[in-house]
């Protein structure tokens, strides 16, 4: 096997594929449109995005007492950006936030009842009123965080009572002590948000389009070369079967890499997608995914009987695998059975890995299982590709 001859085939293959205007459209234009529409539909520019500040507005009556301050402290411990309003002036905040945004302008709002500290000190209950405008998923999440702040404050109260009375001094002393037990509310990883908006739509659409472009353009060009006798003629040229098959594989792989490259650049520049902090692992994961798509494409292009069949199977299976694997919406919000199904699909592995790396920031190694699964898929499908490769 001579690499230069395989590279010749690869070079010609990619040049030939990129000649097709439809392929170019699917490579550049369609992903951009899909990024925009899916991203916007799932809250791209709105709140939900991971970069949106987690503002929470609290309304504090004049007689709320020191516990309201304690609660604000715990809320900001939970990752909120606390904007405090005096209960009698909900137009302009006392601290935090922007001067021209009123209490009602905030999505998450917590109303502290009058005489909070006194009621608690007297042993009476107090009712905190929390409301939010975020979608159900994020709302649940926020609620847990608000609750955590409240419970921590409660724990402070109990601890202070035991320590010699619930008063401001004791509470302040407690704040200085490091907690033995802390309640962490977050999914695996450092960030807590399930990706929405462009942070989900761009990788999701990209992953599906890699498969789509490879299974349509990639597989169809191979099908056409086979049925138009080009491959057969090539078989009489001084090239070994291995050089031809590997050359074709590399050509299609390059198509996938171009597709991913364009999508990533477009995602960064136009949609502010953040591919950090584990950029290299993201690249490795996507390359493994590209390899799997490439092997699938060679198999499809080799076994397909008609052009319609090839493109039909290509489109259907990439839509199906995309949808079920979590490319259209974050699989974390899907029912459990769908999550389980996704964990069996290559698209699901890729998306899970990407979410861990990009949204949960769980560290580069967290995506290692997915990476290995994808590499194995590339290899196994690659063996099928070699076996099924036909010259006529």
CB of 19 to another protein, least distance (A): 7
Q: Which is nearer to another protein, 111 or 222 (CB)?
A: 222
The interface mask with another protein, positions 363-382, x = CB under 8 A, is --------------------
- For 147-181, the three-class secondary structure string (H helix, E strand, C coil) is HHHHHHHHHHHHHHHHHHCCCHHHHHHHHHCCCCC
Residue 342 CB neighbours (<10 A) = 22
Q: Write out the two tokens for 249.
A: 């594989």
CB of 366 to another protein, least distance (A): 45
CB of 262 to another protein, least distance (A): 23
In the block, residue with structure tokens 């090839």 = 310
Contact predicate 373/346, CB 8 Å:
yes
Contact predicate 56/80, CB 8 Å:
yes
| By CB under 8 A, residue 233 contacts another protein | yes
Q: Which is nearer to another protein, 17 or 347 (CB)?
A: 17
| By CB under 8 A, residue 228 contacts another protein | yes
- Judged by CB under 8 A, the residue of 1, 3, 12, 98 near another protein is 12
In 284-319, which positions are buried (b, 16+ CB within 10 angstroms) versus exposed (e)? Answer: bbbbbbbbbbbbbbbbbbbbbeeeeebbebbeeebe
| By CB under 8 A, residue 3 contacts another protein | no
Element (H, E) at 57: strand 55-60
CB of 298 to another protein, least distance (A): 19
Among the residue ranges 72-80, 238-246, 338-346, 362-370, the one whose residues contact another protein (CB under 8 A) = 238-246
Q: Which is nearer to another protein, 238 or 335 (CB)?
A: 238
The interface mask with another protein, positions 16-35, x = CB under 8 A, is x--xx---------------
Q: Which is nearer to another protein, 20 or 143 (CB)?
A: 20
Q: How many residues bind another protein (CB under 8 A)?
A: 19
* Rounded distance between C-alpha atoms, residue 55 and residue 107, angstroms: 8
Q: Which is nearer to another protein, 179 or 233 (CB)?
A: 233
Element (H, E) at 130: strand 129-131
Among the residue ranges 133-141, 169-177, 229-237, 378-386, the one whose residues contact another protein (CB under 8 A) = 229-237
- Of 83, 82, 198, 66, whose CA–CA distance to 149 is shortest? 82
| By CB under 8 A, residue 230 contacts another protein | yes
- Judged by CB under 8 A, the residue of 8, 66, 130, 384 near another protein is 8
* Rounded distance between C-alpha atoms, residue 380 and residue 117, angstroms: 66
Contact predicate 208/322, CB 8 Å:
yes
- Judged by CB under 8 A, the residue of 130, 232, 262, 375 near another protein is 232
Residue 15 CB neighbours (<10 A) = 10
Torsion angle in degrees (nearest 10) through CA of 335, 338, 342, 343: 70
Q: Which is nearer to another protein, 12 or 190 (CB)?
A: 12
Q: Which is nearer to another protein, 238 or 308 (CB)?
A: 238
| By CB under 8 A, residue 229 contacts another protein | yes
- Judged by CB under 8 A, the residue of 123, 124, 136, 238 near another protein is 238
- Judged by CB under 8 A, the residue of 22, 89, 131, 240 near another protein is 240
Q: With DSSP H G I counted as helix, E B as strand and the rest as coil, what are the percentages for the chain, rounded to 5?
A: 65, 5, 30
- Judged by CB under 8 A, the residue of 176, 177, 180, 237 near another protein is 237
Q: Write out the two tokens for 29.
A: 């234009």
* Rounded distance between C-alpha atoms, residue 9 and residue 233, angstroms: 13
List residues binding another protein (CB under 8 A).
8, 12, 16, 19-20, 225, 228-230, 232-240, 391
């Amino acid at each position: 096997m001579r690499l230069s001859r395989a590279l010749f085939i690869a070079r010609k293959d990619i040049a030939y594929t990129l000649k097709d205007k439809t392929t170019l459209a699917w490579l550049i234009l369609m992903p951009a449109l899909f990024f925009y529409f899916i991203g916007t539909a799932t809250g791209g520019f709105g709140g939900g995005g991971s970069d949106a500040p987690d503002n929470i507005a609290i309304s504090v009556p004049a007689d709320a007492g020191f516990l309201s301050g304690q609660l604000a402290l715990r809320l900001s411990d939970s990752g909120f950006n606390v904007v405090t309003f005096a209960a009698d002036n909900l137009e302009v905040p006392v601290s935090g936030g922007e001067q021209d945004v009123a209490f009602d302008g905030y999505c998450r709002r917590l109303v502290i009842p009058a005489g909070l500290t006194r009621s608690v000190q007297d042993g009476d209950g107090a009712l905190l009123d929390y409301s939010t405008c975020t979608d159900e998923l994020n709302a649940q999440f926020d609620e847990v965080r608000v609750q955590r702040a409240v419970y921590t404050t409660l724990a402070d109260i109990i601890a202070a009572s035991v320590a010699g009375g619930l008063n401001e001094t004791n509470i302040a002393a407690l704040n200085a002590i490091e907690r033995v037990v802390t309640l962490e509310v977050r999914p695996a990883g450092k960030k807590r948000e399930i990706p929405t908006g462009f942070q989900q739509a761009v990788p999701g659409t990209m992953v599906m389009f890699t498969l789509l472009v490879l299974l349509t353009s990639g597989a169809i060009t191979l099908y056409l070369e086979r049925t138009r006798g080009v491959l057969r003629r090539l078989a009489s040229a001084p090239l070994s079967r291995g050089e031809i098959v590997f050359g074709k594989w590399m050509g299609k792989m390059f198509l996938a890499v171009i597709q991913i490259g364009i999508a990533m650049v477009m995602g960064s520049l136009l949609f502010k997608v953040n591919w950090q902090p584990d950029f290299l692992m993201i690249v490795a994961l996507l390359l493994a995914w590209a390899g799997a798509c490439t092997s699938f494409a060679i198999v499809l292009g080799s076994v397909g009987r008609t052009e319609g069949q090839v493109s039909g199977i290509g489109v259907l299976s990439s839509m199906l695998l995309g949808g079920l694997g979590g490319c259209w919406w974050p699989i974390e919000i899907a029912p459990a059975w769908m999550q389980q199904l996704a964990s069996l699909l290559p698209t699901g592995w890729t998306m899970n890995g990407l979410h861990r790396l990009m949204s949960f920031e769980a560290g580069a190694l967290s995506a290692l299982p997915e990476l290995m699964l994808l590499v194995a898929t590339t290899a196994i499908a690659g063996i099928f590709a070699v076996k099924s490769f036909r010259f006529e």
